[in-house]
Amino acid sequence: MTETTKPEAHMGNSVGIGSEIYNKVLQHYYTEALLLDNLRLQEWGASLATDLKYTVPVRQTRTVQDIEASYIRSVQHMDDDYASIMGRIMRLSGKSAWSENPPSRTRRFVSNVQVFETDKPDEYASINYLLLTRNRFDDDFFDLIPSQRNDLLRAVEGGFQLVRREVLIDQAVLGTPNLSIFL
């Protein structure tokens, strides 16, 4: 994300909790979680902007003095745009994604949603937390993937489009066999 799209850059322009815009953004995230958890990937894809940038940088463990450098943005778990995300959706929706056949069972818990105005009247920055649970096959255990998502949303007729997403996973070593799901 560029400096102007990082939610932290807009923390002075907070949208009030419970306001109409805040409630619409919150509804967008709840709907997004529902679509992804129920494998309605084509519908989720319709909520993505064509100028989408979707990244998941790698995390390293650093000392407290060097904590700002703990996310390595030159190495990414995912570095996608609209076309590559739509390609993933097509692959996951078909029979060619062996890593997700049978599919993972997921639940996305979205919380701590903060919304900020940006320089553009139709775009909003957001910081939100995601706790994703994932179970595979007949295993009796599940993966937990906690993260912070830094988003840029664009208001369009009927809702929002996701323009930018940077997912900051809390873990330096992922406890899941792959990231063939969307965060």
Tokens of 1: 């994300």
Which of 107, 89, 113 shows the shortest CA–CA distance to 28?
Answer: 113
Q: Class assignment of domain 3-169?
A: alpha beta
Instruction: Quote the pLDDT of residue 156.
Output: 97
Pair type for strands 105-117 and 71-81: unpaired
Coil, strand or helix: which one is 89?
helix
Q: Where are the strands (E) in 23-70, listed by range?
A: 48-59
- Which pLDDT band, with edges at 50, 70 and 90, does 59 fall under? confident
Domain locations in the chain as residue ranges: 3-169
Residue 94: which residues within 8 A CB-CB, separation 6 or more?
none
- Which pLDDT band, with edges at 50, 70 and 90, does 28 fall under? very high
- Residue 58: count of CB within 10 angstroms of its CB: 15
Instruction: Quote the pLDDT of residue 11.
Output: 64
Region 132-138: what's the mean pLDDT? 87
Element spanning 86, H or E: helix 82-93
**DSSP letters of 90-124?**
HHHHTT--GGGSSPPEEEEEEEEEEEEE-SSTTEE
* Cα 26 to Cα 21: distance, rounded to the nearest angstrom: 9
> What are 70-118's pLDDT values in tens digits?
788 888 888 999 999 999 999 888 766 667 778 889 999 999 999 999 9
* Cα 79 to Cα 56: distance, rounded to the nearest angstrom: 7
Q: What is the dihedral of CA 40, 137, 149, 73, to 10 degrees?
A: -120
